[in-house]
Amino acid sequence: GQQVMQIPQYQHVQEGEDFTTYCNSSTTLSNIQWYKQRPGGHPVFLIQLVKSGEVKKQKRLTFQFGEAKKNSSLHITATQTTDVGTYFCAVEYGSGNTGKLIFGQGTTLQVKP
Amino acid sequence: DGGITQSPKYLFRKEGQNVTLSCEQNLNHDAMYWYRQDPGQGLRLIYYSQIVNDFQKGDIAEGYSVSREKKESFPLTVTSAQKNPTAFYLCASSRQQGDEQYFGPGTRLTVT
């Protein structure tokens, strides 16, 4: 089946450093969603990107959707210990509205205080 | 969280037994989903339902069954045919297909 690659799998940073996770697909995406899962918790929706080249910001988080709609990134500026968790991208292929999201394997972020 | 409940939080069963995990939502969402999460891995879709009395297989439906008799309920049965049932099971719902998904707290199933 269709897959989406998410890299890196793990990232350890010092508090205050920046962090980026990437989500890549070989085929065009309808849209992409990003979720965060804290240790021991459940995924929580962060944002959805739909348009080619779209950039959205949430405080220290910046989300980008590639021009070709085949990749996306999540960038955190000046990480804090509260950013610890696993970040997942979730994609929908084709024309959209299939109801079926495919999740990446996630990037687990550890932040050293 | 967000009006979705899953119970119990932890569940232990003997091999060969069927077990049903509950998922209830009071968000009036049309779509509901079941995912499986194994350690260090992403979420894999088991079944999803876009409307009452209708559901579709996801990527790993073998050994599982579901029903959607009511809008607010989407129970998942892990049958004895599921070869490796020990996992963290997450239920989610969305207003409509393709919208952001709200997840329940999950049920951690251990089969020995």
What is the predicted pLDDT for the residue at A64? 98
Give the model confidence (pLDDT) of B66-98 as tens digits.
999 999 999 999 999 899 999 999 999 999 888
Number of residues that make up chain A: 113
> What number is the average pLDDT over the span B90-109?
94
C-alpha dihedral sign at B93, B95, B98, B102: negative
Distance of residue B89 Cα from the nearest chain A Cα, in angstroms: 10
Q: Which tokens in the block code for residue B66?
A: 């579901």
Which of A14-23, A42-51, A87-96, B68-77 has the weakest average pLDDT?
A: A87-96
A102 part of contact set with chain B, CB < 8 Å:
yes
**pLDDT average, residue stretch A55-64:** 98
Write down the pLDDT at residue A1: 59
pLDDT at residue A98 above 70?
no
Which amino acid makes up residue A27? T
Please name the residue of chain A whose CA is at the shortest distance from the CA of residue B101. Answer: A45
pLDDT bucket at A2, cuts 50 / 70 / 90: low
Q: What is the mean pLDDT of residues B5-14?
A: 93
**Mean pLDDT computed over every residue of chain B:** 93
Predicted confidence (pLDDT) at residue A97 exceeds the cutoff of 80: no
Q: What is the pLDDT of residue B1?
A: 47
A113, β-bridge pairs: none
pLDDT score, position B41: 79
Minimal CA separation from B37 to chain A, in Å: 10
Give the integer Cα–Cα distance in Å for B1 and A95: 30
A9 to chain B: nearest residue by CA? Answer: B40
Q: For a pLDDT cut of 90, what percent of chain B falls above it?
A: 86
Residue A96 above 60 pLDDT? no
* B13 and chain A in contact, CB less than 8 A: no
Contact A99 B90 (CB under 8 A): no
The DSSP secondary structure of B80-110, one letter per residue, reads: TT-S---EEEEEEEESSTTSPPEE---EEEE
Q: How far is B15 from chain A (nearest CA, A)?
A: 25
Among the listed residues A60, A62, A69, A81, the one whose alpha carbon sits nearest the alpha carbon of residue A21: A62
Would you call A68 exposed, middle or buried from its count of C-beta atoms within 10 A (0-12, 13-18, 19+)?
A: exposed
